[in-house]
Structure 1
Amino acid sequence: MMRKIYLVDDDEDDRIMIRQALESVAEEIEIVELTNGKQLLFFLEENPSMEPSLILMDMNMPIMNGVEALSALKNRTHLRHIPVVFISTSENPNFVEQGYQLGANAYIVKPNTLDGYQRIAHAITLCFLNSYLPATRKGPLRKSKGKNVVVIEDNPDYAALMGILIKRDAPGLHVIHQSSAESAINFFESLDKTASAAIDLIIVDLYLPARKQGLDVLAWLRMSFMDKGIPIAPIVVLSSSGHHQDIQASYRLQANAYIVKPADPAGSFSFLTDLCSVWWETMSFPNKPASGIV
């Protein structure tokens, strides 16, 4: 199935680099290039049948910048489910935090090398196009020691396998399994503000065992972290469902990414370590205090 990607950036050279990197690794994609936020919104409204699977957008653009465009996008009910990834030259943590507060799914700092653009393409392909590629990293996962990953999965065999494969390449990583929506909520409620801020990634099944439980967990997590006044960790939905309604509902509740479970988990869940790598080494996220989970 052909997937559309809207690439919104006023810098032609950057558009070329991103396009070439994506087209070198992703199959069946069509990239539509736009140069500012106003053009994006007009194109979305005038071409409803050409809704994209993903929007890649710069922050600093003329006429309407990325922040203004994202705000307008998320205020339109019929468009807010479209995932948006900021790709910006700025590493300013205030801009990073602002992007996520407005509803961006990810924030990536533009690289200076071809290899950097390849890493971006790998991250986008894995997290948003449901296509796993061999890892671009070499050796064990960097930046994993002391990290905390919460896996919310009601299938005990899947949960055990996921934990084994994640820790195989990241032995210093702490995997915390929750087997139901109720146990996950109870776990997060037991954490104080510091411990909550120490969660680095949340992987959640959508059907726990029903769709409603998964969506309720997504909504509750956002509200809970907001009430505590701390940035939430990236939330990746990992589901056996590839239905558009499930994907759109998850993105409306601000899941950062949605990945369809592989048909053969035993042979394919190995991408999970790369998923951690993507969020800790390629994406930028608001700074949080370092702490362990008791």
Structure 2
Amino acid sequence: MTTPTFDVHKTILIADDDADDRLFLNEALRHHQYTSQVKFVEDGEELMDYLTHKNGFSDQNAPQPSLILLDLNMPRKNGFQALAEIKSHPNLKRVPVVILSTSSSRDDVDRTYAMGVNSYMVKPSSFNRLTEMIGSLKNYWLETVQLPH
């Protein structure tokens, strides 16, 4: 059996307004030897600017992500609003979006799946559990499945 090859050009875009969560996510990715680009934005407005190359974002500093990790509760534009825009945009709707939220509300889960989210994960309360979750996410989304170009 061969080991799956890892495409080093895959970019993860993380939208989360909590600085500690961004730090922990980055550390969890490093723990799993994720060496490609990880980009961070702090709210849904900045996420959409990144994805549509507005307000200082360009092809050079904002490559098309292979995967978006999206928090729901953010200022200016929340995750629901950003998800709706992403899934209705012809050039973005195929980019996989994984919700990574503190909310375990059944309504939030159902609503985001109805909107076209690809996965929904609840942020764990410990760094060790977060690291395990990020390892599973990396293995599945970036090493196992075939992503659209």
Structure 1 segments (4+ residues) deviating >6 Å: none
Please say which of residues 67-76 and 28-37 is displaced more in the overlay.
28-37
Paired with 1:61 and 1:111, the residues of 2 have a C-alpha distance of 18
Q: Structure 1: any 5+ residue segments left out of the alignment?
A: 132-237, 250-294
Deviations 1:229-284 (A, max 9, x none): xxxxxxxxx6xxx5xxxx328xxxxxxxxxxxxxxxxxxxxxxxxxxxxxxxxxxx
Q: Give 1:181-260 correspondences, 5 Å limit.
A: 247-248=147-148
Q: Which amino acid aligns with 2:40?
A: E
Paired with 1:48 and 1:83, the residues of 2 have a C-alpha distance of 19
Partner residue, 1:75? 88
2:115 to 80, 86, 102: 102
Assess, with a 3 A threshold, how the Cα gap between structure 1 residues 26 and 54 changes in structure 2: closer, same or farther.
Answer: farther
| Aligned-residue CA RMSD (Å) | 1.6
Q: Give 1:52-131 correspondences, 5 Å limit.
A: 52-130=65-143
Give the Å deviation of 1:26.
Answer: 3.6
Paired with 1:119 and 1:33, the residues of 2 have a C-alpha distance of 20
2:52 to 45, 68, 77: 45
Paired with 2:143 and 2:22, the residues of 1 have a C-alpha distance of 22
Paired with 2:107 and 2:85, the residues of 1 have a C-alpha distance of 20
Give the Å deviation of 1:48.
Answer: 4.5
Larger RCO (alpha carbons 8 Å, 6+ apart): 2
Partner residue, 1:34? 41
Give the Å deviation of 1:114.
Answer: 1.5
Deviations 1:68-96 (A, max 9, x none): 00000110011111111111111110101
Identity %: 31
Paired with 1:99 and 1:70, the residues of 2 have a C-alpha distance of 8
Give the Å deviation of 1:27.
Answer: 3.0
Determine which structure has more spread, i.e. the larger CA radius of gyration: 1
TM-score (norm 1): 0.44
TM-score (norm 2): 0.85
